[in-house]
Amino acid sequence: MPGDSSIKAGVHREKFEVAPVSSIWLPRLVEIDSSWNPASWSVKLFERELINPASRVRGLFRGNTLVGYLCAHVVMDEAHIVSLGIDPVWRRQGGGNELLRDFLRLCRLENVLHVTLEVRVSNQAAQALYAQAGFKAAGIRKHYYSDNGEDAITMRYTVEMP
């Protein structure tokens, strides 16, 4: 609409879609990952995740564009979010929330009881995202990140079953 300040500010009005990611998206996964991850994953690593039966790789799409992803491992009744990344152009528009909501819904369908993750102590935005979704701090992993030795906060979510 003319005069809509959210359009002027560059806020995108389309809805996000979340779906499984296929190998055609490998270069884009690496591109998104390298935009935020100092120890960026390679095409080969993402390729292994896509064929690993324990992996769940979900993509965040705007139209035909992959703008984010979530990669997690599910083993029996537990899941671990290994990585979540959003293209910098699409951050702070609700995509991270969409990915988490989708994954937690998937966890309920797969009878997963607990979800864990690690997040950098310095990454306040990610900590807030996870806390808003219901994750609670559960501990500290000293010198967890290999790129700079930064500590990680372990966060845990208990899945509510219907």
Q: What positions carry a catalytic annotation?
A: 118, 130
**Cβ pair 117, 130 in contact under 8 A:** yes
Give the C-alpha distances (Å, rounded to integers) separating 39 from 34, 45, 83: 8, 12, 12
**Cα 69 from Cα 87, distance rounded (Å):** 9
The secondary structure element, H or E, covering residue 140 is strand 136-141
Going by the DSSP 8-state scheme, the letter that residue 24 receives in this structure is: G
DSSP 98-113: HHHHHHHHHHHHTT--
CA end-to-end distance (rounded Å), the chain? 40
